Structure formats: structure tokens, C-alpha cells
Amino acid sequence: MTHMHYFPLSLGVAGLFFAMLVGLTILATIGLLSRVSTALGIDPLAVTMILFASLVGSYVNIPIARLPGERVVTREVMEFMGIPFLAPVAVDWPGTVLAINVGGAVIPILVSLYLLIRYELWTLGLIAVVIVAFFVHQMAVPVPGLGISVPTFVPPLLAAFAALVLSRRFAAPIAYIGGSIGVLVGADLLNLGLLRSLGAPVASIGGAGTFDGVFLTGVIAVVLASFVTG
């Protein structure tokens, strides 16, 4: 449990995301994000606060289960005739704690539910989730010691494209729903069976490996809400 909570981003990426939020806050303060209220049904400053909460909340993982341990193969540096090399070594892994990340899963799920209910986007939202989940699942890469990783920029861009095709009027909420839930389903939920063999102390849904894609989906949704109209 001592390693349950940690930031899933490097210092440089976290700084970049923080700078994005500062920029969005400034734009919201001077009134350049006024369309966000209409497109997302949330005040622009409230949107930036939600994104700030998501970034800060990425540090917190809520444990929901412990996966049983098994015999896994790791790699250790060995020497043969004085030459170092990586050798596979079988070890007994005590188990992986399955958790859900507050910033990368809990908050996006709650916001997505709000958007689904407010705009009644059950069909379009589901289609967007399926599209994003399908492609993200194909690109998801199991990373030993970490969990499941996906390319950072693919989920938000894919969600934006799908949303624009499905409905320009509701492009912003559809992009957020499709990108956020689609990543969680395609990368994490559909790969739960792989987690036991990765040797990660904590496998966090919406955490390391997927948080950056979920976070950028929120930023993309704000951009679509500001510039795309039906």
C-alpha cells in the first residue's frame, strides 16, 4: 500500500499539462471560451477546474481488488565471463493490486455520465466509445512492471474525428465521452486478463499508461466546444 499513490506522468509532461490548463483558464477568464457553456453545459471556468482536479486526482488510486500472484518472468542483469547481459529469471510475484485512478477514471466517468444524461447521447456516445475502444485496444501495449500503455495523442484525436463525423452539433460532449470511456474500456478493461503476468505492484484503471490520453481528451473537447458549431 506504500506505493498505491503516485503521479502517472513525468515532471515534464505534468508541467506541459499544467501550462495547458493555465492557458485555458486565462482564455475562460477573458471570455474566449464562452461557447463551452452551450456545448458542454458547464461554465468554462468550471471545466478548467474539473481538468485541474483530474490532473491532481491522478495521484490517487483507489484499490478495488487484489489479483492473485503467479510465477512470472522478469529480467535481471547477469554476468557470463565478465560480460553483463539480461537474463530471464522466474520469480514468484505476490500479486497485483487492481485500482481505479481518481483523475483518470472516476472524474471522467462522472463527467461522461453527466453529458450522456444532459444531452441524451446514449446512441451516439456508445458508437463513439466502441470506435475508440476498438482502435485503442489494437494499439494497447502491455508494459511489464507498469500496466497497459497506449499512444498519448491517438485517443483524443480519434475521439475528435469520430465525434465530428457523428455530430458536429454535439461534437464536444461526444468527443469527451468517446475518448474518456473508450480509452478506459479499450486499454484497461479489455486487458484485465493480462495484468497478473505484468509484475506491476499496482494496475490502475485510468492511471499510468492511459491517463495522458484521457486528460488530453478533455482538452480536445474544450477546443471542439469553442470552435465547432452545428
pLDDT by 10s per residue, the chain, length 230: 446 788 888 888 889 999 999 999 998 888 888 888 888 989 999 999 999 999 999 999 999 988 776 655 555 554 544 554 444 444 555 667 889 999 999 999 999 999 999 999 999 999 999 999 999 999 998 877 677 888 888 899 999 999 999 999 999 999 999 999 999 999 999 988 887 677 777 788 998 888 988 999 999 998 888 887 55
Within-domain flag for 78: no
Quick check: is 4 in a domain?
Answer: no
Q: Give which of 183, 53, 79 is closest to 131, Cα–Cα.
A: 183
- The domain tally of the chain equals 1
- The answer to the question of residue 88 being in a domain is no
Are the CB atoms for 8 and 207 separated by under 8 Å? Answer: yes
83 domain residue, yes or no = no
The range of the structural domain enclosing residue 162 comes to: 11-68+95-227
Whether 6 is in a domain gets the answer no
18-51 burial code (b ≥16 CB/10 A, e <16): eebbeebbebbeeeebebbbebbebebeebbebb
Cell numbers at 100, concatenated: 481505479
Distance CA 157, CA 164 (A): 11
Q: Is residue 80 part of a domain?
A: no
Asked if residue 193 belongs to a domain, the reply is yes
Query: Does 43 reside within a domain?
Result: yes
- 3-state SS assignment for residue 193: helix
